[in-house]
Amino acid sequence: MTSPRGLEPSPPSPGTTADRFSGPSFGPPDTAAEPAVDPSYVFDFAAYDDLDAPGQRWSTWLQVEPLSRGPEPRPDWVVTSQGAVDTELGILKTGKEADVFLVERADPHDPDGGVVMAAKRYRSAEHRSFHRAAAYTEGRSMKRSRDERALKRKSTWGRVVAAGEWAVSEWGALTRLWSLGLPVPYPVQIDGTEILMEWITHDGETAPRLAQTRPSPALLASYYDQLRDALALMVQAGLVHGDLSPYNILAAGDRLVLIDLPQVVDLVGNPQGFDFLMRDCANVCRWFRARGLDADEHELFGDLMAHAF
């Protein structure tokens, strides 16, 4: 594949249009004297070296369609330069259905403007354990019947569709929740089975999962308040996380961030929506109780219901 970024600026060569095409010329007439160039046709041009290092690719930002890029208003750290390069920094965590990598995106002409993102890459169906069962997808429509048939046939394409389906689903949840103001990583872009998102850190390191932390009583209480507020906002929007646990919540210092959202379910549209919500409440309350906070899932559930209707 040739890249426009690899092009070198070439001097203007009068007459080449007429040399190569026999049809009428649409360009300005050739004149002996160089006409003054309209400034609106002049643009800054920077040449980029070819990429040959392993683990590098050109930024995929402009390759994906606009709806596959993150919602507005975009955080100012998002790198949109056409000349940016993505560099693999290594694997962050292997999961049951996806692996999460760290990827740096930076324009070689502006290295300080670079950013490290988390890249969540879904595996094909045969490489993951199917713990997200059909119950999650009940009530979801699959519009493309070719895809549906492929899934049933379990063809190679079917496996790609299945992996992509979860990626698309998580992308939809991330963009929606981020736009609602929920504490989720900013979704930068989706490309097939890969989602690039904000890397959640604390002190420059990947933020620990809530399960790994031992917060002080004051911080514990603050975490619980944050969680209740986040769940209330989701329930107001008719959504349930569906796989909430202290393993799918990151603790970025004193701030909690919800992650792992491919299975987000419709509270009302899914026949088990309320069961999923109750289970989410129970999972988090159990953890808070074990850390010494008086958290009751029935009380939390009731609280959330008051927000839903």
Ligand X SMILES: Nc1ncnc2c1ncn2[C@@H]1O[C@H](COP(=O)(O)OP(=O)(O)OP(=O)(O)O)[C@@H](O)[C@H]1O
Q: Which of 260, 261, 283, 285 touches Mg ion (CB under 5 A)?
A: 260
Of residues 214-253, those binding Mg ion (CB under 5 A) = 248
Give the Cα-Cα-Cα angle 196, 157, 86 (nearest 5 degrees).
25
Residue 157's binding partner, choosing from Mg ion, ligand X, none, with beta-carbon cut-off 5 to 8 A by kind? none
Sorted by sequence, the CB contacts under 8 Å of residue 228 that are 6+ apart come out as: 300, 303, 304
φ, ψ at 141 (rounded to 5°) = -100, 140
Of residues 104-133, those binding ligand X (CB under 6 A) = 118, 120
Question: How far apart are alpha carbons 233 and 83 in whole angstroms?
Answer: 39
Min dist. Cβ of residue 78 to ligand X (A): 14
Min dist. Cβ of residue 240 to ligand X (A): 16
Q: Which of 79, 84, 85, 100 touches ligand X (CB under 6 A)?
A: 100
Give the interface size with Mg ion as a residue count (CB under 5 A): 2
If the CB atoms of residues 287 and 301 are measured against ligand X, the closer one turns out to be 287
Contact 45, 9 (CB under 8 A): yes
Of residues 252-271, those binding ligand X (CB under 6 A) = 259-260
Q: Buried (b) or exposed (e) across 243-261, using 16+ Cβ within 10 A?
A: bbbbbbbbbeeeebbbbbb
Residue 189 half-sphere exposure toward CB, CA atoms < 13 A: 17
Site string for ligand X, 164-203 (x = CB under 6 A): ---------------------x-----------xxxx---
Chain contacts with ligand X (rule: CB under 6 A): 92-93, 95-98, 100, 118, 120, 185, 197-200, 206-207, 209, 247-248, 250, 259-260
In the complex, the residues that contact Mg ion under the rule CB under 5 A are 248, 260
